């Protein structure tokens, strides 16, 4: 068993990562005892598991993910939502409204969500055979009212959230903004306009520097600097 | 055409045995490769290879329209190779030609075996290749950029595909034929290969080569393909390395803010403080 990459190495598709009895995680594949990268990303080794954290790519829906999407169509029994993945997501009346509302929903679904509305939703089911299903019943889910929407590369979302939410909670507390990060790379920010601007700049920096280390501290410094500039 | 009469008169080599542009028989034309040239595509790349100037854009995996073309167990790869009306000496008529359709198909078949299309059932991956200026070996250069654009789009693949043509002109085997060598020469053999994995994905032959000559050609081309392959790998990493250097990152990765990785599952967005509908 030999590893041919150092942790944190930038790898490209087809690059040989290791030889021998390794388990291969995301962003890798195995052929005849050799592990190769399948995407551009950062190689990581944990025990005998090798995986590559992708740096580019579209969002792939996973159950229990929180996503932010846009209503694109109203159907007989619900809504079609664009979650910027390869598949449109279904939001059914059953998964969107309370039981009491659902019984009288057939009159006009636009009363709840209209085409063009932005919703925060959770993915209920997603598998290879059908389009993902969403729900907006739950704490913090539902229509976005006001605020600002920005898009980032979905592969960098984990970095924006940080370990146990460290990055995002730092942003929220420093800037006193409401920030919701969808796993599909759509971010909703609501707060003081000046702070929102700083938040967007910070998120852009995190997106750009996602593959570097020591990011939380660097971003915090920048924010504190910008905040004190504003006060002056 | 009276061009054919003049074929024998065209001098392809100088006294030292060098080609018209001063290259040795196994030498590549100068080339330049760039990624992320288009901001609105999911992935993109640009190549200049000899006088070829080619842009590739990748969109997807995305919803497939028309729906009936969807494949239940994998994504549909669509490659469109188009030449600008201004890409050749005499204005090319804008309607898609037989040649463009053929090359689109050939490039698709050169890329397809290297992609994990089964990861995106029912979806579409679109590759658009726009030739801004055409020279010899444009299908090979197109395969090279398309492959980089796909990697730039984050589409999982077994390896990068690199294309170079080899052929015979003026009685000699030549690597990376120019437009003139291709037109005047006896044979043109476009080759695309997943160099890192040692697999050929495209091999065409226009003209005649003996069995031995073909074997020799495949040997000759290896160095050229490797050179382009290295460049492909390099440009894909380049941007990220630059950002790391800007920041002056230390070699030692700190674990304090590592929030990524498939096995360290991150709880979804923190939505506690969001107002509910």
Domains, chain B, with CATH or none: 12-247 (3.30.230.70)
Under a CB-based contact definition with an 8 Å cutoff, are residues A115 and A143 in contact?
A: no
Output the pLDDT for position A183. 97
Distance CA A132, CA B130 (A): 34
Q: A-B interface: how many C-beta pairs under 8 angstroms? A: 197
**Rounded mean pLDDT, B76-93:** 97
Q: Which residues in chain A are closer than 8 Å to B157, comparing Cβ atoms?
A: 13-14, 38-39
Question: pLDDT band at residue B1, thresholds of 50, 70 and 90?
Answer: very low
Output the pLDDT for position A98. 85
**Rounded mean pLDDT, B19-41:** 95
Say whether B59 sits in a helix, a strand or coil.
strand
Question: pLDDT band at residue B11, thresholds of 50, 70 and 90?
Answer: confident
**Rounded mean pLDDT, A200-228:** 93
Question: What Rg do the C-alpha atoms of chain B give, in angstroms?
Answer: 22
CATH class of the domain comprising A2-54: mainly beta
CATH assignment of A66-143, given 3.90.1150.10, 3.40.50.1000, 3.40.640.10, 2.40.50.140? 2.40.50.140
Q: Which residues in chain A are closer than 8 Å to B160, comparing Cβ atoms?
A: 12-14
Output the pLDDT for position B250. 54
> Alpha helix (H) ranges present in chain A?
93-96, 99-103, 157-161, 166-175, 193-208, 215-231
**Rounded mean pLDDT, B146-166:** 97
The string of DSSP codes covering B11-39 is --B-TTS-BTTS--TTPPPPEEEEE---S
What integer best gives the mean pLDDT of chain B? 88
Output the pLDDT for position A105. 61
Q: Which residues in chain B are closer than 8 Å to A213, comparing Cβ atoms?
A: 249-250, 253-254, 257-258
* Interface with chain A: mutation pick from B61, B266, B267, B273, highest number of A CBs within 10 Å: B266
Under a CB-based contact definition with an 8 Å cutoff, are residues B269 and A66 in contact?
A: yes
Name the residue in chain B with its Cα closest to that of A218: B247
**Rounded mean pLDDT, B154-169:** 96
Output the pLDDT for position B211. 95
State pLDDT tens for residues B232-268. Answer: 999 999 999 999 998 876 544 444 444 443 333 333 3
Output the pLDDT for position B273. 35
Question: pLDDT band at residue A7, thresholds of 50, 70 and 90?
Answer: confident
| Segment among A132-146, B85-99, B248-262 with least mean pLDDT | B248-262
In eight-state DSSP terms, residue B7 is G
Beta carbons of A213 and B264 less than 8 Å apart: no
State pLDDT tens for residues B168-178. Answer: 999 999 999 99
Range(s) within chain A of domains with CATH label 2.40.50.140: 66-143
User: In which region does residue B155 sit, left (phi positive, over 0), alpha (psi from -120 to 50) or beta (all else)?
Assistant: beta
**Rounded mean pLDDT, B105-123:** 97
Q: A71 vs B255, which has greater pLDDT? A: A71
Spatial neighbors of A88 by CB under 8 A, at least 6 apart, are A72, A80, A81, A82, A131, B63
| Segment among A6-15, A93-102, B53-62, B194-203 with least mean pLDDT | A93-102
Output the pLDDT for position B8. 59
State pLDDT tens for residues B54-82. Answer: 999 999 899 999 999 999 999 999 999 99
Q: B142 vs B3, which has greater pLDDT? A: B142
* Interface with chain B: mutation pick from A12, A160, A216, highest number of B CBs within 10 Å: A12
Instruction: Look at residue A215 and tell me whether its pLDDT is greater than 60.
Output: yes
Q: How far is A186 from chain B (nearest CA, A)?
A: 11
Q: Compute the C-alpha angle A152/A157/A161, nearest 5°.
A: 125
Q: How far is A112 from chain B (nearest CA, A)?
A: 9
Beta carbons of B155 and A57 less than 8 Å apart: yes
- How much is the ipTM here? 0.93
Instruction: Look at residue A2 and tell me whether its pLDDT is greater than 90.
Output: no
Distance CA A76, CA A56 (A): 36
CA atoms within 13 A on the CB side of A136: 30
Name the residue in chain B with its Cα closest to that of A123: B268
CATH assignment of A148-231, given 3.30.300.30, 3.30.70.2860, 3.30.1370.10, 3.40.50.1360? 3.30.1370.10
Question: pLDDT band at residue B269, thresholds of 50, 70 and 90?
Answer: very low
**Rounded mean pLDDT, B11-31:** 92
Range(s) within chain A of domains with CATH label 3.30.1370.10: 148-231
Beta carbons of A25 and B120 less than 8 Å apart: no
Output the pLDDT for position A190. 96
Q: Which residues in chain A are closer than 8 Å to B277, comparing Cβ atoms?
A: 112, 136, 141-143
Output the pLDDT for position A63. 95
Spatial neighbors of B168 by CB under 8 A, at least 6 apart, are B174, B185, B186, B187, B207, B209, B213
Output the pLDDT for position B276. 35
State pLDDT tens for residues B214-229. Answer: 999 999 999 999 999 9
Using a CB–CB cutoff of 8 Å, tell me whether A141 touches chain B: yes
Distance CA A162, CA A159 (A): 5
State pLDDT tens for residues A109-123. Answer: 898 999 999 999 999
Closest CB from B156, B243, B244 relative to A38: B156
Instruction: Look at residue B136 and tell me whether its pLDDT is greater than 90.
Output: yes
Closest CB from B75, B258, B272 relative to A140: B272
Beta carbons of B269 and A183 less than 8 Å apart: yes
Q: Across-strand partners of A70? A: A82, A118
Using a CB–CB cutoff of 8 Å, tell me whether A79 touches chain B: no
Output the pLDDT for position B9. 66
């Amino acid at each position: 068993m030999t590893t041919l990459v150092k942790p944190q190495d930038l790898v490209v598709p087809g690059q040989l990562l290791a030889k021998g009895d390794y388990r291969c995680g995301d962003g890798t594949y195995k052929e005849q005892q050799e592990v190769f990268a399948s995407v551009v990303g950062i190689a990581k080794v944990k025990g005998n598991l090798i995986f590559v954290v992708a740096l580019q790519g579209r969002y792939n829906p996973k159950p229990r993910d929180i996503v932010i999407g846009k209503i694109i169509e109203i159907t007989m029994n619900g809504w079609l939502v664009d979650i910027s993945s390869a598949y449109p997501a279904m939001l059914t009346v059953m998964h969107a409204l309370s039981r009491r509302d659902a019984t009288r929903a057939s009159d006009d679904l636009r009363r709840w969500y209209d085409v063009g509305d932005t919703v925060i939703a959770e993915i209920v089911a997603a598998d290879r055979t059908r389009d993902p299903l969403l729900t907006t019943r739950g704490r913090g889910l539902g229509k976005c009212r006001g605020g600002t929407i920005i898009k980032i590369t979905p592969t960098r979302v984990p970095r924006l959230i940080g370990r146990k939410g460290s990055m995002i909670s730092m942003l929220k507390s420093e800037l006193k903004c409401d920030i919701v990060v969808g796993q599909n790379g759509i971010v909703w920010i609501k707060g003081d306009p000046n702070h929102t601007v700083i938040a967007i700049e910070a998120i852009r920096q995190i997106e750009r520097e996602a593959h570097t280390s020591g990011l939380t501290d660097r971003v915090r410094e920048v924010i504190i600097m910008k905040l004190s500039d504003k006060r002056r | 055409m009276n061009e054919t009469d003049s074929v024998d008169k065209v001098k392809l080599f100088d006294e030292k045995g060098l080609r018209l542009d001063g290259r040795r028989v196994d030498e590549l034309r100068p080339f330049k490769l760039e990624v992320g040239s288009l901001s609105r595509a999911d992935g993109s790349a640009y190549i200049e290879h000899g006088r070829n100037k080619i842009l590739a854009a990748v969109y997807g995996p995305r919803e497939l329209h028309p729906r009936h073309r969807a494949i239940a167990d994998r994504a549909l790869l669509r490659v469109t190779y188009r030449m600008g009306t201004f890409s050749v000496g005499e204005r090319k008529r804008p309607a898609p030609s037989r040649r463009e359709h053929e090359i689109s198909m050939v490039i698709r078949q050169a890329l397809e075996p290297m992609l994990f299309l089964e990861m995106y059932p029912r979806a579409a991956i679109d590759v658009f290749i726009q030739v801004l200026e055409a020279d010899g070996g444009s299908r090979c250069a197109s395969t090279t950029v398309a492959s980089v654009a796909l990697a730039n789009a984050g589409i999982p693949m077994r390896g990068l595909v690199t294309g170079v043509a080899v052929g015979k002109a003026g009685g000699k085997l030549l690597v990376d034929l120019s437009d003139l060598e291709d037109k005047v020469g006896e044979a043109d053999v476009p080759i695309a290969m997943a160099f890192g994995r040692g697999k050929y994905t495209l091999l065409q032959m226009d003209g005649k080569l003996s069995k031995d000559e073909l074997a020799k050609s495949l040997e000759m081309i290896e160095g050229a393909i490797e050179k382009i392959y290295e460049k492909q790998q390099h440009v894909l990493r380049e941007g990220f390395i630059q950002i790391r250097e800007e920041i002056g990152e230390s070699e030692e990765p700190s674990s304090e803010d590592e929030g990524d990785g498939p096995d360290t599952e991150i709880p979804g967005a923190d939505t506690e403080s969001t107002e509910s509908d």
